[in-house]
Amino acid sequence: MTPAEVQQRPSHVKLLDPGPTHIDFDWPETASAPLNAIIVPASRGALALRSAIRLSAHLDVQLVVLCSLGTHADEVVALATRFAAGHVVAVDIPTGYQHPLLPRRTGVQRFRLASAGRSSDLSLKRNVGLLLARLRGWSKVLFLDDDIDPLSDMSGLDPAVVGRIATELDTRQVAGLVCKSFPDNSVVCHARRLAGRAQDNFVTGGALGVNCSDQPLPFFPDIYNEDWFFFAQQAANRELGVVGEAGQAPYHPYADPHRARTEEFGDLLAEGLYALFETQGSELAFVDRLAAADARYWKQFIRARRQDLDETAVQLTDCADPDRDAALISLHASADQLARLHPRLCVDFIKAWRKDLHYWAQRTQRLDEERTLTAALQLLGLRATQPAVSQTRHLPMRRSTRQVEPTLIGLVSPSGSQSLVGVNSSAA
């Protein structure tokens, strides 16, 4: 590739396989198998889970809430009991939780420093969700973030959209939604949009379906844009399905410039890889696609990224939006962090990621199915408790045609200490 061909791209829509995005049908009749579970990595408090609880009750599927930070298992169970939500499990994930099944090479100190000390357990909780799916033999699961579609009427995702995801998982490993109402973008991409530059957004890990029967099973590395790494092979092969749109809770992307710093390494890597994928032929094996991301390529892309940040900053100076100054400060923080990154670091992360993929695939393929969710959690070092079921009431939901009986299980870790995506995770 020539330097002129290496550039930051405003959109990666060419990597999507849209599929039947406008087909109107009811679920589960058109899917060969129903959704088995909804998995929510939660951190924003129990009340942020109302939409997910209602969705689980409407579809009569298992809801697993993996709790940390501002969300606690006992509060989730209490809320679910009030809503008569069906099969609800809440699990407290303790700070510093680790397990031998989880890959670690991409989470070493060197890469954490490259991400400016970024601290997040989102990838950890999603990977725990994948392990639970494999251990329980769940065929299809939906991962849903607790900031997805938090509508004022708490109606949540349309069950018909979830049905499309379940149907798409019959024929593909990953299918999801795109956040349009408030774009799921990095700080840099928000700044590009504010400056009047073209800027699209992509499938989000916050509302994602995955078929885990297909092997090898990917994982979420501990880095910003972890979802782009999770479905990178599907995107590279133009096999990533998008079946609709979701909403996301608005936030101020420029409130803290450090956010831009913590995102820069992951944004650089993900944008660089996806830009490279767009230039590669469909016949190329994934390992060869990654091999093309060598030190020479990253030197060129870092230069292109720096130029893009500079151009965005120049255009922002002519912007009259009240967020302009804050956006410029955040953009400068991104540029400063980018100056600390180098091509060899990018190459080393891709190598570590490939090794982690191999490690993870070997171990998830060899897992024996557990008979109960309690047993699966015990294998992962987490403990289950079952509270009493109190007074319940059914809350109707959009297009709701049935109600479920409450069966509630609350789970806490021995120490007692968050998003929704769909995954098909039955054993191969």
- Asked if the structure places residue 61 within a domain, the reply is yes
pLDDT band at 356 (very low <50, low <70, confident <90, very high): very high
pLDDT band at 22 (very low <50, low <70, confident <90, very high): very low
The pLDDT score that the predictor gives to residue 181 is: 80
* pLDDT surpasses 70 at 387: no
The pLDDT score that the predictor gives to residue 182 is: 86
The pLDDT score that the predictor gives to residue 391 is: 38
The pLDDT score that the predictor gives to residue 415 is: 39
Average pLDDT over residues 1-22: 77
Average pLDDT over residues 115-123: 96
Strand locations in 266-354 (E): none
* pLDDT surpasses 80 at 396: no
* pLDDT surpasses 80 at 362: yes
- Asked if the structure places residue 299 within a domain, the reply is no
**In degrees to the nearest 10, what's the CA dihedral of 219, 225, 229, 235?**
130
Cα–Cα distance for residue pair 24/261, rounded to 1 Å: 42
Higher pLDDT, 130 or 151: 130
Q: Which CATH number does the domain housing residue 396 bear? A: 3.90.550
Cα–Cα distance for residue pair 276/189, rounded to 1 Å: 18
What is the domain extent for residue 42? 12-249+369-423
Give the pTM: 0.88
- Asked if the structure places residue 403 within a domain, the reply is yes
- Asked if the structure places residue 7 within a domain, the reply is no
Cis amide bond preceding 257, omega within 30: no
- Asked if the structure places residue 348 within a domain, the reply is no
Query: Mean pLDDT across the chain, nearest whole number?
Result: 85
Higher pLDDT, 416 or 68: 68
SS3 348: helix
- Asked if the structure places residue 240 within a domain, the reply is yes
Higher pLDDT, 34 or 309: 309
pLDDT band at 301 (very low <50, low <70, confident <90, very high): very high
For residue range 168-183, list pLDDT tens digits in order: 999 999 999 998 888 8
SS3 252: coil
Higher pLDDT, 270 or 150: 270
The pLDDT score that the predictor gives to residue 18 is: 61
Higher pLDDT, 115 or 215: 115
- Asked if the structure places residue 326 within a domain, the reply is no
How many domains, the chain? 1
